[in-house]
A and B are shown apart, each in its own frame.
Chain A
Amino acid sequence: MKNTISAELPKISRRKFLVVSAAAGGGLALGFNLPFGVGSAAAQSAAEAAEVNIWVVVKPDDTCMIRIARAEMGQGTLTGLAQLVAEELECDWNKVRTEQITAGQNLARKRAWGDMSTAGSRGIRTSHDYVRRGGAAARMMLMQAAANEWNVPVTDLQVANGVISHAGSGRSTTYGKVAAAAAKLTPPDPKGIKLKDVRNWKIAGKPLRRLDTADKLNGQKIYAIDLKMPGMLHATVKNCPVFGGKLASFDDSKVKGMPGVKGVMKINDTTVAVVADTWWRAKKAMDALPIVWDEGPHAKVNSASIAEHLKSGLTSNDAFADIDTGDAPKAIAAAAKKIEAVYSVPFTSHTPMEPMNCTVKLSPDKAEIWIPSQSLEASLAALSSASGQPLEKCEAYVMDLGGGFGRRIGNQDVVRQGVAIAKAFPGVPVKMVWTREEDQAHDFYRPIAQCRLSAGVDEKGNLAGLHLRVSGQSINAFANPAAIKDGKDRRQLQGLWPEPHDAQIGYTHANLRTEYAMRNTHLPVGPWRGVNTNQNGIFLECFMDEVAKLANRDPLEFRRSLMSERPKHLAVLNAAAEKAGWGKPLPKGVHRGIAQFMGYASYSAAVAEVSVSAKGEVKVHRCVFALDCGNVVNPDQTAAQIEGSVAYGMTTLLSEISVANGRVVETNFHNFRVMKIAEMPKVEVVLPLTHDFWGGVGEPTICVVVPAILNAIHAATGKPVRSLPLSKQGLTLV
Chain B
Amino acid sequence: MIEISHVDKWYGTGFQALKDCTTSVAKGEVVVVCGPSGSGKSTLIKCVNALEPFQSGEIVLDGIKVNDPKTDLPKLRARVGMVFQHFELFPHLKIIENLCLAQEKVLGRSHEDAMAKGAKLLDRVGLKDHARKFPAELSGGQQQRVAIARALAMDPIAMLFDEPTSALDPEMISEVLDVMVDLAREGMTMMVVTHEMGFASKVANRVIFMDQGEIVEDAPKTDFFGSPRSDRAQKFLSKILSH
A and B: interacting chains: no
* Interface residue ranges, A against B (CB under 8 Å): none
